[in-house]
A = this chain, B = another copy of it.
């Protein structure tokens, strides 16, 4: 039977399986979900076995387990290493979810759940595409290996040593990842670049206890004042990062690159309206795709201190906190950027306030030539299924491990995404459009066959 017919007749079964997986709250950032991480790893290992993959292994690490599987029965054919992750982002603010994040729900052709698109839903397509080929043809057109981690959302600390220790086992001709997105419905895209990342936490401490603003107000430092004054120095009023040397290593945008970005024909008004924004925002002289694809950022992801409850509390907080991430491009070195930010913060903290800076994640940016044969084959596969050729884009997100994969294994990385830009990744009501669920399965089958 045709693959269309196969996937159609198995659709309900596939969605039921995926919903099972999405019900496991595998939030890697929160230690209380340690057990759920193991469950999620076991679930995917079982799914791999059911699909007909071999050597399915769950490797324990000092963090969350890494799952490996393979099917190596196509001598002389290329080997594809498929990467994905079974961990998900935290879910707060919970009250903004229409249905609970770990009770998957299908509404208007969309599957709602934390992880529906990032990345369980997309990774699931690969497992089911392989299963389909094995069921239909009893063999695969290529050799495949899968490596699935549980720390993508928390900086993939266990994966690099695992890669280093298993270079031979993981050797491949191409790496295939579905953790990016289409440009828009019906408009496939292949990412040829990912931004790098670094992150840090900032704490400001003043007194040894919270103080009454009547008795002490006006006479002692306020940790929140010190923090907001400090954070406000990080950008100028045009949205540019004010940290000295931050833009070193950021490539100038060539006319050719600007042309590529212009080809995306992004409707900025529509984007703005869809997000409920009065105006887009960012560096002067750059379009939205350029700002998010080719420019670095420094973002406050969380700021907190003092009283957050109902009503008024006349307190002078003794401590205040901020969480910061940067997206990096070109040759920006994450460690170097962390050092520069730390120097900036130390130079700008108000006298009498104690500053603590804790560096966290680090990842370089990644880039690949869109003319590479593997990427062209992927574009062919998309064209067959979607009826339109994929555009080559620079993706603003970071998959910290991509640059490392590419460097350690010396192979091209094909980023073949099936999400959509507005599917609320990392936010309440994350979802995955089932049209791309269906087309994704066919596109992956098509790509594996074309290899």
**Using a CB–CB distance below 8 Å, which chain A residues touch chain B?**
28-31, 89-90, 92, 96, 153-155, 181, 195, 197, 199, 206-222, 224-225, 227-229, 231-232, 235, 237, 239, 275-283, 288, 291-292, 295-297, 299-317, 320-321, 323, 325, 327, 350-354, 360-361, 395-398, 421, 424-429
Contacts and interface: CB of A to CB of B under 8 A. Distances in A.
Contacts of A351: 278-279, 281
Contacts of A299: 213, 217, 222, 225, 314, 316
Contacts of A350: 237, 281
Contact of A199 (B28, B276, B312, B353): B312
B215 A425 contact: yes
A295 B283 CA distance: 41
Contacts of A421: 215
B303 A304 contact: yes
A321 B307 CA distance: 11
Contacts of A320: 303
Of A311, A317, A425, the most chain B CB neighbours within 10 A belong to: A311
A276 B354 CA distance: 11
Contact of A214 (B291, B296, B327): B327
A305 B218 CA distance: 25
Contact of A310 (B29, B231, B296): B29
A312 B300 CA distance: 11
A274 to B, nearest CB: 8
Contacts of A29: 309-313
Contact of A360 (B292, B312, B321): B312
B317 A282 contact: no
Nearest to A214: B397
A275 B305 contact: no
A275 B31 contact: no
A213 B308 CA distance: 24
B210 A195 contact: no
